[in-house]
Amino acid sequence: MSKATTTKTTYQIPIGPIHPALKEPVFFEFELDGEKIIDVNVKLGHVHRGIEWASRNRNPIQILYLAERICGICSYCHPIAFSLAVESVADIQVPERAEYLRVIHGELERICSHILWAGVAAHEIGFDTVLYLTWQIRERTLDLTEYLTGNRVTKGITMIGGVRRDITQDMLPKIHETLKYLKDNFEKLRHILLDDKTVKMRTKGCGILTKEDALKLCAVGPLTRSSGVKKDVRVDSSYFAYGDLDINYTTPDILTGEVNGDVYDRIIVRLLEIKQSIDLIEQCLDKMPAGPIVAEPKIPKLLAQLKKVNGEGVGRHEAPRGEVIHYVKLDGVNDAPYTWKVRAPTYNNILPWIPMLKGEQIADIPIVAASTDPCMSCTNRVAIVKDGNKFEMNKEELHRLSVEKTRGLML
């Protein structure tokens, strides 16, 4: 009998674009050796909705509500980044009270988003009891959002040059009550997520992103902070009222004294940020000065002013998932902006998946992917499709275009 010789080869499995384990469409191609992930390829572009195109026949005020619908969870940070961009073009000075109100709404959204994430992360490792607990806490935050803005999710609170609704004295008791409830429950949430044996076993040493990789791949938000990179738009560029508030970078070494960059560290960072947000809202309520809440209360006048403005501006805001950038160009002729470009935070947090997933097991894919808090519909912005063919701009092509443009300018 001859000896059978077998050669060990790797095999590939595709996951997605539509898959029960994924909340939103994204396509993975895994190269596996047994259970171990050797290589990963990520493909995007399955939920492109042409939002920027839809802005072509809308004026800046209508775009505020269109921007709100880019993402359900970040329904405040997109319009606010857009209005920051428009304000920088039109040189609108936002009143001081509005700056504080904007911080309050931004931090309230961060609390909602991070609590939601904690629940989803627990769900991904099969800990559904925590999911229900976190959603119970989140419900109170949403009730407060509804009380302050009139809507639970799509808040409709942003206005170019300020906010639309004020916080009056009679609203304060309800806000303080909810903040107290959050503080009381924060300790319970911390105990469950950080001291629990199951959570520790699944998340410690899993999906590690080193500081070098985080810097190299331009990761943003809690993901990069959990790898020890001190990057936060709120601290780096003091927009809104953040300059007057006591705020610092949240890194996991505040709590544990060490930075590992694993999923466990990301839970720590997000939990600390919930605490930080509660603290920031309290600071705002204490320091908030009296005064107007919007720069130009007459909207027809504001629209006429924006129509005449010519120029381009960039708005940056620290969304719950990281830095969101909106670029706006107004041409001074049309109502609609000449260009509007959105860069959502998940766009930067996609590439870190590759070093994080390499060397992990198949069963770790959901929790590692969820640990960046991905939002696909935020991310998918541009797909170049012509006659059914898909064009991708690679580095060489871009370089060639750049050289051509330089030559064109020299003539």
Partner 1 sequence: MLPRAFAQMFKKPWTNKFPAKYTPSNTTRFLEKVQAGKVKINPPVETPPGFRGKIQYDKEKCIGCQLCLKVCPSEAIEFKPEDKKIKIYLARCTFCSQCNDICPVNCLSMSNEFLLADSNLYSKDLIVE
**Chain contacts with partner 1 (rule: CB under 8 A):** 58-59, 61-66, 129-130, 133, 136, 139, 143, 146-147, 150-151, 154, 156, 164-165, 188, 192, 196, 299-300, 303
Nearer to partner 1, 147 or 249 (CB): 147
User: Among residues 299 and 393, whose Cβ is nearest to partner 1?
Assistant: 299
Could you tell me what percentage of the chain is helix, strand and coil, using 3-state DSSP and rounding each to the nearest 5?
50, 15, 35
- Which residue, among 134, 128, 259, has the nearest Cα to 186 in the 3D structure? 134
CB of 113 to partner 1, least distance (A): 21
Min CB(139)–partner 1 separation in Å: 7
Q: Of 35 and 143, which CB lies nearer to partner 1 in the complex structure?
A: 143
Q: What's the closest the beta carbon of residue 146 comes to partner 1, in angstroms? A: 6
**Residues facing residue 315 across a β-bridge:** 326
Contacts of 206 (CB under 8 A, 6+ apart): 262, 263, 264, 360, 364, 367, 368
Of 35 and 139, CB closest to partner 1: 139
Q: How far apart are CA 99 and CA 396, in angstroms?
A: 44
Q: Which is nearer to partner 1, 124 or 323 (CB)?
A: 124
Kindly state the smallest distance separating residue 153's Cβ from partner 1, in Å.
11
Minimum Å gap between C-beta 287 and partner 1 is 24
Choice between 63 and 268, CB closer to partner 1: 63
User: What single DSSP character describes residue 361?
Assistant: B
Among left, alpha and beta (phi > 0; psi -120 to 50; other), residue 332 is left
CB of 151 to partner 1, least distance (A): 6
Dihedral sign, Cα of residue 361, residue 367, residue 372, residue 378? positive
Residues 6+ apart with CB under 8 A from 163: 98, 101, 102, 105, 157, 293, 294
**Buried/exposed 50-60: b ≥16 CB within 10 Å, e otherwise:** ebbeebeebeb
Q: Can you tell me whether residue 64 is helix, strand or coil?
A: helix
Query: Contact 272/189 with Cβ under 8 angstroms?
Result: no
Minimum Å gap between C-beta 129 and partner 1 is 5
Query: Quick one: 334 or 402, whose CB is closer to partner 1?
Result: 334
- CA angle 349-121-201, nearest 5°? 105
Q: How far is the CB of 388 from partner 1 (least distance, A)?
A: 31
The answer to whether the CB of 332 falls within 8 A of the CB of 309 is: yes
Nearer to partner 1, 62 or 339 (CB): 62
